[in-house]
Amino acid sequence: MTEPTDAAARRAIEPVICYPTETLPVPDLALYQRAHHDAVKTGEIVVPSREAATIEVPAGHFLKISSIEGPQVGDLNLFNAKNLDERFYSGKTRALHGTHVTTGHRLWSCFPFLRPMATVVADTLSWYGIDEFGGSVHDVIGTRCDPYTGNLLSGGHYHHCCHSNLTRALSDARALSLEEAEARVHDVLNVFMCTGFTRDTRQYFMKASPVRPGDYLELFAEIDLLAVMSACPGGDCGAVHSSDTATCHPMLMEVLKPAEGTLDTWYPPAANGYDRTHGR
């Protein structure tokens, strides 16, 4: 196609941020730090490699997700533990905070709730920043590895993609049929995954995660959460996923309860206040 004569001028128009976040309440990270200081562990679960596990995180508690044995990526789904209709909204979280999340960012729930489900309060990989390929860690751009795309591209019926792992774990946790559970599995937060878009074709890429045992991502639960996480069959996601080829490791999810009185000035966020008449 021939370029119009003013092509350069049109391209030179400066972009504007779609969703400026200056009006959002700023998370009180100092408050969360004080609450974390004498917090005690109240629960934990090991997520086996190529499988998923669930844990409940009461509002006002912390969820610590750790690498324990080797570099490994986790695909995380979050639900309101009291209402599975409210779940993590990866796309809007991306629109608000960018393609990757770190300390101070929030994980938002779907419509009509659209409120912070969790706040990222610690990230030992925050040093990584954005590498020379445009890659960064903890993305909200990937969807989750799934058997449908695997079948589409390569054929076959692999049952340990994150999508299937999350489906089985949610089914077990809430006594749902596989069909009911599958319909509730949603686009994930890719914990520890290092990803970006190629500069030439804008394709989604992954590269070996910089995560090492001892690294962790820690969330503060703003509402009662059911966390479901799959230890991805891609392992560190440096080469392949959706197969048994990659080296995989388990991961750890821990729940910590703040000391009494340390959250006196914290209140759970209300559901979104939009009137929902849609103008009728």
Binding site for Zn ion (CB under 5 A): 75, 145, 162, 232
- Encoding tokens for residue 20? 């400026």
| Pick 224 or 236: Cβ nearer Zn ion | 236
Residue type, 35: A
| Pick 105 or 160: Cβ nearer Zn ion | 160
- Smallest gap from Cβ 166 to Zn ion, in A, equals 9
- Smallest gap from Cβ 184 to Zn ion, in A, equals 17
Three-state secondary structure readout of 60-83: CCEEEEEECCCCCCEEEEEEECCE
Residue 90 backbone phi and psi in degrees, to 5: -60, -45
| Pick 145 or 191: Cβ nearer Zn ion | 145
- Smallest gap from Cβ 142 to Zn ion, in A, equals 8
Three-state secondary structure readout of 220-251: EECCCEEEEEEECCCCCCCCCCCCCCCCCCCE
Q: Are 95 and 253 in contact (CB under 8 A)?
A: no
| Pick 51 or 86: Cβ nearer Zn ion | 51
- Smallest gap from Cβ 133 to Zn ion, in A, equals 20
- Smallest gap from Cβ 237 to Zn ion, in A, equals 8
| Pick 35 or 52: Cβ nearer Zn ion | 52
Number of H helices, E strands in the chain: 6, 13
Q: Distance (Å, rounded) from C-alpha 95 to C-alpha 111?
A: 14
Tell me the DSSP string of 160-228.
Answer: -SHHHHHHHHHHHHHT--HHHHHHH--PPEEEEEEEEE-TTT--EEEE-----TT-EEEEEESS-EEEE
| Pick 60 or 150: Cβ nearer Zn ion | 150
| Pick 103 or 143: Cβ nearer Zn ion | 143
- Smallest gap from Cβ 232 to Zn ion, in A, equals 3
Bridge partners for 66 per DSSP: 216, 252
| Pick 35 or 185: Cβ nearer Zn ion | 185
The DSSP output letter for 261 is T
Strand pairing category for 189-197 and 136-139:
antiparallel
- Smallest gap from Cβ 206 to Zn ion, in A, equals 10
- Smallest gap from Cβ 217 to Zn ion, in A, equals 16
